[in-house]
Amino acid sequence: MNQPFDVDSFIRSRKQTRAISDRLKVLASDYLATLSPLVRPQPLFGEYLQGAPRGSGRETQHHFKEFRTLFDKHAGQRPFNLINELEVPLSIINSTPELFPLEYDHQLSSGSTVRVTSPSRWVIGYNSFDLRRFRQVAQDPNRSGSELHRFVLHYLMLFHCFSRAAGLGRLLKGLRFPLSFQCLDDFGELPFCVVSSPVQSSLPGDEVIRNSTEISGNLSFEELISQDSIDRLQDDLREDLLLILQTAS
């Protein structure tokens, strides 16, 4: 989208984007809540998790060893530089998944950097562990080491549980909200779980972004959802079945 900046059309596009995004997030949150029992850490870690019932010794030991390796790999790296070791049993304060806005930096041709929010992709976190607060703690030179430790622990726990949930990725893809694992700005190599909607959003040209940020007075912007992206929606199952019909004829 490289159209010249027009205030009225931009406001309309932003309102439409927000309305579509709100609806998509409601659907994604509902699916996530329904599937959350599949990614609870308690069955995987058993007695290695505070308050959890004893599990299968060999299996829970395997998951804990994998998780300890994962934690050791990422916690000591930038920007965290944690030296705290895992204490058993692990203390997971809240294991209810929640969706948080996905944000990233975009550099304009002028050299300034804009913080962009996606209205069609969300980061999965645990309730009470807001992603923006995690970013603030990670960037704060006077941060609390124990608070940062809890954030890293919980987001890595969620990544471990989602990445070990057999078939969950295929199920979410079938629901049109595919799951992916990716790194985010400001968090180094830490892997996050990201849910995408069936509708894509994108950035307009730098001129539109620059004018918008100058009017708002802050360097933040939200991707836009166009009607074209909705018109391009496809039913994957329908396409697969049509292909079968063609090849079987």
Q: Of 193, 169, 64, nearest to 121 (Cα)? A: 193
What would the two tokens of residue 231 be?
């018109």
Q: Where are the domains of the chain?
A: 7-229
**Which residue shows structure tokens 């996050």?**
192
In this structure, what are the phi and psi dihedrals at residue 222, rounded to the nearest 5 degrees?
A: -115, 135
Instruction: Classify strands 220-222 and 192-196 as parallel, antiparallel or unpaired.
Output: unpaired
Contact 181, 191 (CB under 8 A): yes
pLDDT score at 1: 44
Q: Exposed, middle or buried, 165 (CB in 10 Å: 0-12/13-18/19+)?
A: middle
For the entire predicted model, the pTM comes to 0.92
Cis peptide before 89 (omega within 30 of 0): yes
Closest CA to 182 of 102, 100, 96, 113: 102
Report in angstroms the alpha-carbon separations of 134 from 40, 67, 76, 205. 21, 20, 16, 30
Structure tokens at 71: 């934690």
3-state secondary structure of 101: strand
Query: What beta strand segments (E) does the chain contain?
Result: 97-107, 113-126, 179-182, 192-196, 220-222
pLDDT by 10s per residue, the chain, length 249: 455 568 899 999 999 999 999 999 999 999 999 999 999 999 999 999 988 777 668 899 999 999 999 999 999 999 999 988 898 999 998 889 999 999 999 999 989 999 999 999 999 999 999 999 999 999 999 999 999 999 999 999 999 999 999 899 999 999 999 999 999 999 999 999 999 999 999 999 999 999 999 988 999 999 999 999 999 998 888 888 999 999 996
pLDDT at res. 236: 85
Tokens of 246: 């063609």
